Structure 1
Protein backbone atom coordinates (compact mmCIF):
# COMPACT_ATOMS: atom_id res chain seq x y z
CA UNK A 1 0.00 0.00 0.00
CA UNK A 2 1.27 3.44 -0.92
CA UNK A 3 1.55 5.69 2.14
CA UNK A 4 1.16 9.45 2.24
CA UNK A 5 3.72 9.53 5.06
CA UNK A 6 7.47 9.19 4.71
CA UNK A 7 8.53 8.33 8.23
CA UNK A 8 11.67 6.35 7.52
CA UNK A 9 13.75 9.40 6.68
CA UNK A 10 15.32 12.13 8.83
CA UNK A 11 12.08 14.07 9.11
CA UNK A 12 10.48 11.39 11.29
CA UNK A 13 11.38 13.05 14.58
CA UNK A 14 9.92 16.39 13.48
CA UNK A 15 6.75 14.76 12.19
CA UNK A 16 5.91 12.62 15.21
CA UNK A 17 6.58 15.50 17.62
CA UNK A 18 4.46 18.00 15.68
CA UNK A 19 1.09 19.33 16.78
CA UNK A 20 -0.70 18.23 13.55
CA UNK A 21 0.51 14.65 13.91
CA UNK A 22 -0.35 14.35 17.59
CA UNK A 23 -3.74 15.96 16.86
CA UNK A 24 -4.28 13.40 14.10
CA UNK A 25 -3.42 10.54 16.46
CA UNK A 26 -5.71 11.89 19.18
CA UNK A 27 -8.65 12.18 16.80
CA UNK A 28 -8.00 8.65 15.50
CA UNK A 29 -7.85 7.14 19.00
CA UNK A 30 -11.06 8.89 20.04
CA UNK A 31 -12.77 7.45 16.95
CA UNK A 32 -11.55 4.00 17.97
CA UNK A 33 -13.11 4.53 21.40
CA UNK A 34 -16.30 5.98 19.97
CA UNK A 35 -19.73 5.45 21.51
CA UNK A 36 -21.88 2.62 20.07
CA UNK A 37 -24.14 5.01 18.16
CA UNK A 38 -21.06 6.37 16.38
CA UNK A 39 -20.07 3.00 14.96
CA UNK A 40 -19.98 4.37 11.43
CA UNK A 41 -17.17 6.75 12.45
CA UNK A 42 -14.89 3.97 13.68
CA UNK A 43 -11.68 3.88 11.57
CA UNK A 44 -11.73 1.60 8.54
CA UNK A 45 -9.02 -0.97 7.95
CA UNK A 46 -7.26 1.03 5.22
CA UNK A 47 -6.76 3.98 7.61
CA UNK A 48 -4.50 2.03 9.94
CA UNK A 49 -1.48 1.81 7.67
CA UNK A 50 -0.44 5.44 8.01
CA UNK A 51 -1.32 5.48 11.72
CA UNK A 52 0.88 2.45 12.37
CA UNK A 53 3.75 4.12 10.53
CA UNK A 54 3.40 7.17 12.75
CA UNK A 55 3.20 5.03 15.87
CA UNK A 56 6.29 3.03 14.84
CA UNK A 57 8.26 6.22 14.26
CA UNK A 58 7.05 7.71 17.54
CA UNK A 59 8.03 4.64 19.52
CA UNK A 60 11.42 4.54 17.78
CA UNK A 61 11.99 8.15 18.78
CA UNK A 62 10.97 7.67 22.41
CA UNK A 63 13.18 4.57 22.68
CA UNK A 64 16.12 6.51 21.27
CA UNK A 65 15.97 8.67 24.43
CA UNK A 66 16.30 5.64 26.71
CA UNK A 67 19.50 3.86 27.72
CA UNK A 68 18.41 0.25 27.92
CA UNK A 69 21.86 -0.73 29.21
CA UNK A 70 20.87 0.68 32.59
CA UNK A 71 17.75 -1.49 32.87
CA UNK A 72 17.49 -3.92 35.79
CA UNK A 73 18.45 -7.48 34.99
CA UNK A 74 16.25 -9.32 37.45
CA UNK A 75 13.23 -9.09 39.73
CA UNK A 76 15.16 -7.79 42.75
CA UNK A 77 16.98 -5.12 40.74
CA UNK A 78 13.68 -3.94 39.27
CA UNK A 79 12.27 -3.06 42.69
CA UNK A 80 15.19 -0.72 43.42
CA UNK A 81 15.19 0.66 39.87
CA UNK A 82 11.47 1.44 40.04
CA UNK A 83 11.67 3.20 43.40
CA UNK A 84 14.63 5.27 42.19
CA UNK A 85 12.62 6.31 39.12
CA UNK A 86 9.68 7.21 41.34
CA UNK A 87 11.90 9.45 43.48
CA UNK A 88 13.53 11.01 40.41
CA UNK A 89 10.12 11.75 38.89
CA UNK A 90 9.04 13.66 42.00
CA UNK A 91 12.31 15.58 42.07
CA UNK A 92 12.09 16.55 38.39
CA UNK A 93 8.55 17.94 38.64
CA UNK A 94 8.91 19.53 42.10
CA UNK A 95 9.83 22.96 40.73
CA UNK A 96 6.63 23.14 38.67
CA UNK A 97 4.35 21.86 41.41
CA UNK A 98 5.87 24.02 44.13
CA UNK A 99 5.23 26.98 41.86
CA UNK A 100 1.67 25.79 41.26
CA UNK A 101 1.02 25.33 44.97
CA UNK A 102 2.56 28.58 46.16
CA UNK A 103 2.50 31.13 43.32
CA UNK A 104 0.16 30.28 40.43
CA UNK A 105 -2.75 32.61 39.80
CA UNK A 106 -6.30 31.36 39.33
CA UNK A 107 -5.92 31.71 35.56
CA UNK A 108 -2.66 29.75 35.57
CA UNK A 109 -4.22 27.00 37.68
CA UNK A 110 -7.15 26.95 35.27
CA UNK A 111 -4.79 26.47 32.33
CA UNK A 112 -3.13 23.50 34.06
CA UNK A 113 -6.48 21.85 34.83
CA UNK A 114 -7.55 22.33 31.21
CA UNK A 115 -4.39 20.52 30.11
CA UNK A 116 -5.09 17.67 32.51
CA UNK A 117 -8.37 17.06 30.69
CA UNK A 118 -6.30 15.75 27.77
CA UNK A 119 -5.44 12.70 29.88
CA UNK A 120 -8.27 12.35 32.34
CA UNK A 121 -11.06 12.36 29.78
CA UNK A 122 -10.61 8.71 28.73
CA UNK A 123 -8.61 7.36 31.65
CA UNK A 124 -11.38 4.98 32.69
CA UNK A 125 -11.27 3.39 29.22
CA UNK A 126 -7.49 3.04 29.49
CA UNK A 127 -7.88 1.18 32.80
CA UNK A 128 -10.60 -1.01 31.28
CA UNK A 129 -8.33 -1.97 28.38
CA UNK A 130 -5.39 -2.60 30.71
CA UNK A 131 -7.33 -5.47 32.30
CA UNK A 132 -7.55 -7.46 29.07
CA UNK A 133 -5.46 -10.62 29.13
CA UNK A 134 -4.62 -10.46 32.82
CA UNK A 135 -5.59 -13.33 35.09
CA UNK A 136 -6.05 -14.03 38.79
CA UNK A 137 -5.09 -11.39 41.33
CA UNK A 138 -3.48 -9.20 38.65
CA UNK A 139 -6.86 -8.84 36.98
CA UNK A 140 -8.52 -8.16 40.34
CA UNK A 141 -6.01 -5.37 41.08
CA UNK A 142 -6.91 -3.58 37.83
CA UNK A 143 -10.61 -4.33 38.36
CA UNK A 144 -10.47 -2.65 41.78
CA UNK A 145 -8.75 0.33 40.16
CA UNK A 146 -11.45 0.45 37.49
CA UNK A 147 -14.23 0.20 40.08
CA UNK A 148 -12.76 3.22 41.84
CA UNK A 149 -12.86 5.06 38.50
CA UNK A 150 -16.54 4.06 38.29
CA UNK A 151 -17.26 5.78 41.61
CA UNK A 152 -17.89 2.43 43.31
CA UNK A 153 -21.07 2.10 41.26
CA UNK A 154 -22.44 5.61 41.75
CA UNK A 155 -22.72 7.63 38.55
CA UNK A 156 -22.33 10.98 40.31
CA UNK A 157 -19.07 9.73 41.86
CA UNK A 158 -17.53 8.47 38.62
CA UNK A 159 -14.12 10.09 38.36
CA UNK A 160 -14.63 11.46 34.87
CA UNK A 161 -17.91 13.04 36.01
CA UNK A 162 -16.28 14.54 39.11
CA UNK A 163 -13.31 15.87 37.15
CA UNK A 164 -15.48 17.44 34.44
CA UNK A 165 -17.66 19.12 37.07
CA UNK A 166 -14.62 20.41 38.94
CA UNK A 167 -13.03 21.77 35.75
CA UNK A 168 -16.32 23.38 34.65
CA UNK A 169 -16.81 25.14 37.98
CA UNK A 170 -13.22 26.35 38.01
CA UNK A 171 -13.55 27.65 34.45
CA UNK A 172 -16.72 29.54 35.41
CA UNK A 173 -14.72 31.55 37.95
CA UNK A 174 -12.44 32.96 35.25
CA UNK A 175 -13.30 36.08 33.29
CA UNK A 176 -13.18 34.37 29.90
CA UNK A 177 -13.11 30.73 30.91
CA UNK A 178 -10.25 28.54 29.75
CA UNK A 179 -10.55 28.07 26.01
CA UNK A 180 -7.70 26.11 24.47
CA UNK A 181 -8.63 25.21 20.88
CA UNK A 182 -5.21 23.71 20.19
CA UNK A 183 -3.56 22.10 23.23
CA UNK A 184 0.26 22.10 23.15
CA UNK A 185 1.89 19.13 21.48
CA UNK A 186 3.28 17.90 24.81
CA UNK A 187 -0.22 17.77 26.34
CA UNK A 188 -1.51 15.67 23.46
CA UNK A 189 1.50 13.35 23.68
CA UNK A 190 0.84 12.94 27.39
CA UNK A 191 -2.65 11.62 26.67
CA UNK A 192 -1.91 9.89 23.38
CA UNK A 193 0.78 7.69 24.88
CA UNK A 194 -1.70 5.94 27.17
CA UNK A 195 -4.26 5.65 24.39
CA UNK A 196 -1.72 4.13 21.99
CA UNK A 197 -0.39 1.72 24.60
CA UNK A 198 -3.91 0.59 25.54
CA UNK A 199 -5.26 0.24 22.00
CA UNK A 200 -2.25 -1.64 20.56
CA UNK A 201 -1.97 -5.01 22.27
CA UNK A 202 1.76 -5.37 21.53
CA UNK A 203 2.35 -2.54 24.01
CA UNK A 204 0.43 -4.11 26.90
CA UNK A 205 3.53 -4.50 29.13
CA UNK A 206 4.51 -0.89 28.40
CA UNK A 207 1.00 0.25 29.37
CA UNK A 208 1.23 -1.50 32.73
CA UNK A 209 4.61 0.10 33.41
CA UNK A 210 3.38 3.54 32.38
CA UNK A 211 0.24 3.23 34.51
CA UNK A 212 2.19 2.15 37.57
CA UNK A 213 4.55 5.13 37.52
CA UNK A 214 1.69 7.50 36.63
CA UNK A 215 -0.52 6.37 39.50
CA UNK A 216 2.35 6.06 41.97
CA UNK A 217 3.51 9.64 41.40
CA UNK A 218 0.01 11.15 41.23
CA UNK A 219 -0.53 11.76 44.99
CA UNK A 220 2.32 14.29 45.03
CA UNK A 221 0.83 16.17 42.09
CA UNK A 222 -2.68 16.14 43.55
CA UNK A 223 -1.48 17.30 46.97
CA UNK A 224 0.18 20.34 45.38
CA UNK A 225 -2.91 21.04 43.26
CA UNK A 226 -5.10 20.93 46.37
CA UNK A 227 -2.73 23.31 48.14
CA UNK A 228 -3.03 25.75 45.21
CA UNK A 229 -6.82 25.49 45.28
CA UNK A 230 -6.99 26.07 49.03
CA UNK A 231 -4.63 29.04 48.75
CA UNK A 232 -6.92 30.53 46.11
CA UNK A 233 -9.98 29.91 48.32
CA UNK A 234 -11.76 27.62 45.89
CA UNK A 235 -14.89 25.81 47.04
CA UNK A 236 -14.88 22.24 48.33
CA UNK A 237 -16.87 20.98 45.32
CA UNK A 238 -13.98 22.07 43.07
CA UNK A 239 -11.31 20.64 45.38
CA UNK A 240 -13.07 17.34 46.16
CA UNK A 241 -11.97 15.36 43.08
CA UNK A 242 -8.32 16.36 43.48
CA UNK A 243 -8.24 15.78 47.23
CA UNK A 244 -9.73 12.28 47.00
CA UNK A 245 -6.99 11.20 44.57
CA UNK A 246 -4.21 11.83 47.06
CA UNK A 247 -5.13 8.63 48.88
CA UNK A 248 -6.79 6.73 46.05
CA UNK A 249 -3.86 6.98 43.64
CA UNK A 250 -1.34 6.15 46.36
CA UNK A 251 -3.18 2.86 46.76
CA UNK A 252 -3.50 2.35 43.00
CA UNK A 253 0.22 2.84 42.49
CA UNK A 254 1.06 0.43 45.29
CA UNK A 255 -1.34 -2.21 43.98
CA UNK A 256 -0.06 -1.91 40.40
CA UNK A 257 3.49 -2.43 41.58
CA UNK A 258 2.91 -5.17 44.15
CA UNK A 259 0.08 -7.11 42.52
CA UNK A 260 0.70 -6.60 38.79
CA UNK A 261 4.25 -5.62 37.82
CA UNK A 262 6.16 -7.70 40.36
CA UNK A 263 4.18 -10.94 39.82
CA UNK A 264 4.47 -10.49 36.06
CA UNK A 265 8.22 -10.02 36.23
CA UNK A 266 8.73 -12.84 38.70
CA UNK A 267 7.13 -15.34 36.34
CA UNK A 268 7.89 -13.66 33.00
CA UNK A 269 11.31 -11.97 33.29
CA UNK A 270 11.54 -11.71 29.50
CA UNK A 271 9.14 -8.73 29.54
CA UNK A 272 11.40 -6.69 31.85
CA UNK A 273 12.59 -4.49 28.97
CA UNK A 274 9.06 -3.69 27.79
CA UNK A 275 7.82 -2.74 31.25
CA UNK A 276 10.86 -0.53 31.84
CA UNK A 277 10.37 1.19 28.47
CA UNK A 278 6.78 1.94 29.48
CA UNK A 279 7.86 3.40 32.83
CA UNK A 280 10.61 5.56 31.34
CA UNK A 281 8.66 6.75 28.30
CA UNK A 282 5.84 7.92 30.55
CA UNK A 283 8.45 9.62 32.76
CA UNK A 284 10.10 11.43 29.83
CA UNK A 285 6.83 12.58 28.29
CA UNK A 286 5.45 13.75 31.64
CA UNK A 287 8.55 15.84 32.37
CA UNK A 288 8.29 17.57 28.99
CA UNK A 289 4.56 18.06 29.50
CA UNK A 290 4.97 19.96 32.78
CA UNK A 291 7.77 22.06 31.28
CA UNK A 292 5.51 22.96 28.35
CA UNK A 293 2.74 24.19 30.67
CA UNK A 294 5.11 26.55 32.47
CA UNK A 295 6.45 27.85 29.14
CA UNK A 296 2.93 28.32 27.74
CA UNK A 297 1.85 30.30 30.79
CA UNK A 298 4.96 32.52 30.96
Structure 2
Protein backbone atom coordinates (compact mmCIF):
# COMPACT_ATOMS: atom_id res chain seq x y z
CA UNK A 1 0.00 0.00 0.00
CA UNK A 2 1.24 3.45 -0.85
CA UNK A 3 2.36 5.56 2.08
CA UNK A 4 0.44 8.60 0.89
CA UNK A 5 -2.97 6.93 1.23
CA UNK A 6 -5.27 8.08 4.07
CA UNK A 7 -5.09 4.67 5.80
CA UNK A 8 -1.31 4.69 5.98
CA UNK A 9 -1.32 8.27 7.30
CA UNK A 10 -3.87 7.30 9.95
CA UNK A 11 -1.68 4.39 10.98
CA UNK A 12 1.24 6.75 11.60
CA UNK A 13 -0.60 8.91 14.13
CA UNK A 14 -3.06 6.37 15.56
CA UNK A 15 -0.50 4.44 17.61
CA UNK A 16 1.12 7.50 19.30
CA UNK A 17 -2.28 9.02 20.05
CA UNK A 18 -3.54 5.77 21.56
CA UNK A 19 -0.46 5.45 23.75
CA UNK A 20 -0.82 9.08 24.81
CA UNK A 21 -4.46 8.59 25.81
CA UNK A 22 -3.64 5.46 27.79
CA UNK A 23 -0.74 7.19 29.54
CA UNK A 24 -3.02 10.15 30.33
CA UNK A 25 -5.55 7.78 31.89
CA UNK A 26 -2.80 6.30 34.05
CA UNK A 27 -1.67 9.74 35.18
CA UNK A 28 -5.28 10.65 36.06
CA UNK A 29 -5.63 7.51 38.15
CA UNK A 30 -2.43 8.31 40.04
CA UNK A 31 -3.53 11.92 40.54
CA UNK A 32 -6.89 10.82 42.00
CA UNK A 33 -5.09 8.35 44.26
CA UNK A 34 -2.75 11.17 45.36
CA UNK A 35 -5.74 13.23 46.44
CA UNK A 36 -7.21 10.33 48.43
CA UNK A 37 -3.95 9.55 50.21
CA UNK A 38 -3.41 13.25 50.93
CA UNK A 39 -6.86 13.47 52.51
CA UNK A 40 -6.13 10.39 54.59
CA UNK A 41 -2.87 11.91 55.83
CA UNK A 42 -4.56 15.14 56.91
CA UNK A 43 -7.63 13.63 58.63
CA UNK A 44 -6.46 10.30 60.01
CA UNK A 45 -2.74 10.67 60.74
CA UNK A 46 -1.53 12.62 63.76
CA UNK A 47 1.08 15.31 63.17
CA UNK A 48 0.42 15.81 59.46
CA UNK A 49 -0.73 19.12 58.07
CA UNK A 50 -1.76 20.20 54.60
CA UNK A 51 1.76 20.23 53.16
CA UNK A 52 3.24 17.33 55.10
CA UNK A 53 0.29 15.09 54.17
CA UNK A 54 1.55 15.09 50.57
CA UNK A 55 4.40 12.89 51.76
CA UNK A 56 1.98 9.96 52.13
CA UNK A 57 0.95 9.71 48.44
CA UNK A 58 4.45 10.68 47.36
CA UNK A 59 5.78 7.67 49.27
CA UNK A 60 3.41 4.94 48.12
CA UNK A 61 2.13 6.11 44.72
CA UNK A 62 5.51 7.67 43.93
CA UNK A 63 7.29 4.43 44.79
CA UNK A 64 4.89 2.46 42.58
CA UNK A 65 5.52 4.87 39.69
CA UNK A 66 9.31 4.67 40.18
CA UNK A 67 9.23 0.87 40.25
CA UNK A 68 7.19 0.93 37.03
CA UNK A 69 9.89 2.97 35.32
CA UNK A 70 12.59 0.66 36.68
CA UNK A 71 10.65 -2.32 35.32
CA UNK A 72 10.67 -0.79 31.85
CA UNK A 73 14.36 0.11 32.04
CA UNK A 74 15.36 -3.38 33.17
CA UNK A 75 13.22 -5.00 30.49
CA UNK A 76 14.64 -3.12 27.51
CA UNK A 77 18.20 -3.88 28.65
CA UNK A 78 17.55 -7.62 28.95
CA UNK A 79 17.71 -7.80 32.75
CA UNK A 80 15.26 -9.47 35.09
CA UNK A 81 12.45 -7.14 36.22
CA UNK A 82 10.73 -9.51 38.66
CA UNK A 83 11.80 -7.65 41.81
CA UNK A 84 10.80 -4.23 40.49
CA UNK A 85 7.45 -5.58 39.29
CA UNK A 86 6.71 -7.17 42.67
CA UNK A 87 7.56 -3.92 44.47
CA UNK A 88 5.40 -1.97 41.99
CA UNK A 89 2.34 -4.07 42.76
CA UNK A 90 3.17 -4.16 46.48
CA UNK A 91 3.17 -0.36 46.80
CA UNK A 92 0.03 -0.25 44.66
CA UNK A 93 -1.69 -2.67 47.04
CA UNK A 94 -0.81 -0.45 50.03
CA UNK A 95 -2.10 2.64 48.24
CA UNK A 96 -5.32 0.84 47.28
CA UNK A 97 -5.85 -0.29 50.88
CA UNK A 98 -5.44 3.28 52.21
CA UNK A 99 -7.93 4.54 49.64
CA UNK A 100 -10.33 1.82 50.76
CA UNK A 101 -10.31 2.42 54.52
CA UNK A 102 -10.88 6.17 54.57
CA UNK A 103 -14.00 6.21 52.36
CA UNK A 104 -17.45 6.18 54.03
CA UNK A 105 -19.50 3.84 51.77
CA UNK A 106 -18.90 0.62 49.86
CA UNK A 107 -19.33 2.24 46.46
CA UNK A 108 -16.79 4.96 47.15
CA UNK A 109 -14.38 2.41 48.61
CA UNK A 110 -14.48 0.33 45.45
CA UNK A 111 -13.86 3.36 43.25
CA UNK A 112 -11.09 4.76 45.46
CA UNK A 113 -9.33 1.40 45.80
CA UNK A 114 -9.43 0.82 42.05
CA UNK A 115 -7.73 4.13 41.18
CA UNK A 116 -4.08 3.13 41.82
CA UNK A 117 -4.66 -0.38 40.49
CA UNK A 118 -6.06 0.97 37.24
CA UNK A 119 -3.20 3.46 36.93
CA UNK A 120 -0.49 0.83 37.34
CA UNK A 121 -2.22 -1.73 35.12
CA UNK A 122 -2.75 0.76 32.30
CA UNK A 123 0.73 2.21 32.57
CA UNK A 124 2.19 -1.31 32.57
CA UNK A 125 0.50 -1.90 29.21
CA UNK A 126 2.03 1.31 27.89
CA UNK A 127 5.49 0.16 29.00
CA UNK A 128 5.01 -3.20 27.30
CA UNK A 129 4.18 -1.47 24.02
CA UNK A 130 7.15 0.88 24.39
CA UNK A 131 9.41 -2.10 25.03
CA UNK A 132 8.08 -3.90 21.93
CA UNK A 133 8.70 -0.79 19.81
CA UNK A 134 12.23 -0.46 21.19
CA UNK A 135 13.03 -4.09 20.39
CA UNK A 136 11.58 -3.73 16.88
CA UNK A 137 13.73 -0.65 16.17
CA UNK A 138 16.94 -2.11 17.62
CA UNK A 139 16.45 -5.61 16.24
CA UNK A 140 16.38 -7.24 19.67
CA UNK A 141 13.94 -10.15 19.87
CA UNK A 142 13.50 -12.36 22.89
CA UNK A 143 11.93 -15.73 23.54
CA UNK A 144 8.31 -15.08 24.46
CA UNK A 145 5.45 -17.34 25.31
CA UNK A 146 2.05 -17.24 23.63
CA UNK A 147 -0.01 -19.31 26.06
CA UNK A 148 -3.11 -19.61 23.87
CA UNK A 149 -1.28 -20.87 20.78
CA UNK A 150 1.02 -23.03 22.90
CA UNK A 151 -1.91 -24.81 24.58
CA UNK A 152 -3.68 -25.21 21.23
CA UNK A 153 -0.65 -26.84 19.62
CA UNK A 154 -0.07 -29.02 22.67
CA UNK A 155 -3.62 -30.34 22.36
CA UNK A 156 -3.02 -31.19 18.69
CA UNK A 157 0.55 -32.53 18.93
CA UNK A 158 1.66 -33.17 22.49
CA UNK A 159 4.89 -35.02 21.78
CA UNK A 160 6.14 -32.62 19.10
CA UNK A 161 5.25 -29.56 21.14
CA UNK A 162 7.01 -30.89 24.24
CA UNK A 163 10.13 -31.77 22.24
CA UNK A 164 10.26 -28.41 20.45
CA UNK A 165 9.67 -26.51 23.69
CA UNK A 166 12.43 -28.44 25.49
CA UNK A 167 14.84 -27.83 22.61
CA UNK A 168 14.06 -24.09 22.65
CA UNK A 169 14.73 -23.86 26.37
CA UNK A 170 17.94 -25.91 26.36
CA UNK A 171 19.30 -23.89 23.41
CA UNK A 172 19.57 -20.79 25.64
CA UNK A 173 23.16 -20.55 27.00
CA UNK A 174 23.49 -20.75 30.78
CA UNK A 175 25.57 -17.55 30.98
CA UNK A 176 22.65 -15.64 29.44
CA UNK A 177 20.18 -17.10 31.94
CA UNK A 178 22.27 -15.98 34.91
CA UNK A 179 23.15 -12.60 33.39
CA UNK A 180 26.88 -13.09 32.89
CA UNK A 181 29.12 -12.58 29.90
CA UNK A 182 30.31 -15.46 27.75
CA UNK A 183 32.94 -17.48 29.63
CA UNK A 184 36.44 -17.04 28.28
CA UNK A 185 38.51 -20.06 27.39
CA UNK A 186 41.21 -20.73 30.00
CA UNK A 187 44.48 -21.76 28.32
CA UNK A 188 45.98 -25.03 29.51
CA UNK A 189 49.09 -24.61 31.70
CA UNK A 190 52.36 -25.45 30.01
CA UNK A 191 54.19 -28.47 31.48
CA UNK A 192 57.27 -27.61 33.54
CA UNK A 193 60.36 -29.56 32.38
CA UNK A 194 61.87 -31.78 35.09
CA UNK A 195 65.67 -31.28 35.42
CA UNK A 196 67.81 -34.39 35.04
CA UNK A 197 69.54 -35.61 38.28
CA UNK A 198 73.24 -34.71 38.64
CA UNK A 199 75.73 -37.63 38.42
CA UNK A 200 77.18 -38.92 41.70
CA UNK A 201 80.95 -38.13 41.83
CA UNK A 202 81.53 -41.02 44.28
CA UNK A 203 80.33 -43.60 41.80
CA UNK A 204 83.05 -45.96 40.53
CA UNK A 205 81.70 -46.28 37.06
CA UNK A 206 81.92 -43.19 34.96
CA UNK A 207 78.66 -41.74 33.92
CA UNK A 208 77.65 -42.67 30.45
CA UNK A 209 77.43 -39.89 28.02
CA UNK A 210 73.85 -38.84 27.45
CA UNK A 211 72.32 -40.26 24.34
CA UNK A 212 71.37 -37.78 21.67
CA UNK A 213 67.73 -36.79 21.95
CA UNK A 214 65.47 -38.81 19.76
CA UNK A 215 63.59 -36.54 17.46
CA UNK A 216 59.92 -36.72 18.17
CA UNK A 217 57.89 -37.06 15.06
CA UNK A 218 55.52 -34.17 14.90
CA UNK A 219 52.08 -35.47 14.01
CA UNK A 220 50.91 -34.03 10.77
CA UNK A 221 47.34 -32.90 11.10
CA UNK A 222 45.92 -32.59 7.67
CA UNK A 223 42.67 -30.69 7.53
CA UNK A 224 41.57 -31.47 4.06
CA UNK A 225 40.00 -28.90 1.90
CA UNK A 226 37.51 -31.48 0.72
CA UNK A 227 35.72 -31.27 4.05
CA UNK A 228 34.31 -27.88 3.10
CA UNK A 229 33.14 -29.35 -0.21
CA UNK A 230 31.81 -32.60 1.24
CA UNK A 231 28.93 -33.09 3.70
CA UNK A 232 28.71 -30.55 6.50
CA UNK A 233 29.51 -32.20 9.84
CA UNK A 234 29.63 -30.91 13.42
CA UNK A 235 33.14 -30.30 14.83
CA UNK A 236 33.12 -33.48 17.03
CA UNK A 237 32.27 -35.64 14.01
CA UNK A 238 34.98 -33.93 11.92
CA UNK A 239 37.59 -34.73 14.58
CA UNK A 240 36.45 -38.37 14.76
CA UNK A 241 36.60 -38.79 10.98
CA UNK A 242 40.03 -37.14 10.81
CA UNK A 243 41.32 -39.52 13.50
CA UNK A 244 39.98 -42.53 11.58
CA UNK A 245 41.55 -41.20 8.39
CA UNK A 246 44.92 -40.80 10.15
CA UNK A 247 44.79 -44.41 11.41
CA UNK A 248 43.98 -45.73 7.95
CA UNK A 249 46.84 -43.71 6.46
CA UNK A 250 49.30 -44.95 9.10
CA UNK A 251 48.26 -48.54 8.38
CA UNK A 252 48.95 -47.98 4.69
CA UNK A 253 45.44 -48.72 3.46
CA UNK A 254 42.71 -46.78 1.73
CA UNK A 255 40.21 -44.79 3.76
CA UNK A 256 36.75 -46.28 3.09
CA UNK A 257 33.16 -45.81 4.16
CA UNK A 258 33.57 -48.62 6.70
CA UNK A 259 36.10 -46.46 8.57
CA UNK A 260 33.55 -43.65 8.63
CA UNK A 261 30.84 -45.96 9.99
CA UNK A 262 33.22 -47.12 12.71
CA UNK A 263 33.38 -43.65 14.29
CA UNK A 264 30.11 -41.86 13.38
CA UNK A 265 26.58 -42.92 12.56
CA UNK A 266 25.59 -41.53 9.15
CA UNK A 267 23.69 -42.93 6.14
CA UNK A 268 25.59 -45.07 3.64
CA UNK A 269 25.56 -42.49 0.86
CA UNK A 270 26.82 -39.81 3.19
CA UNK A 271 29.59 -42.12 4.43
CA UNK A 272 30.66 -42.69 0.82
CA UNK A 273 30.79 -38.94 0.24
CA UNK A 274 32.90 -38.42 3.34
CA UNK A 275 35.31 -41.22 2.36
CA UNK A 276 35.57 -39.80 -1.17
CA UNK A 277 36.37 -36.35 0.21
CA UNK A 278 39.33 -37.89 2.09
CA UNK A 279 40.69 -39.85 -0.91
CA UNK A 280 44.44 -39.33 -1.32
CA UNK A 281 47.03 -39.32 -4.04
CA UNK A 282 50.69 -39.89 -3.02
CA UNK A 283 49.79 -39.23 0.59
CA UNK A 284 48.30 -35.79 0.01
CA UNK A 285 44.65 -34.91 0.27
CA UNK A 286 42.92 -33.89 -2.89
CA UNK A 287 41.57 -30.34 -3.05
Give the TM-score taking structure 2 as reference length.
0.27
- Structure with the larger RCO, 1 or 2 (CA within 8 Å, 6+ apart): 1
Give the TM-score taking structure 1 as reference length.
0.27
Instruction: Say which structure is richer in helix.
Output: 1
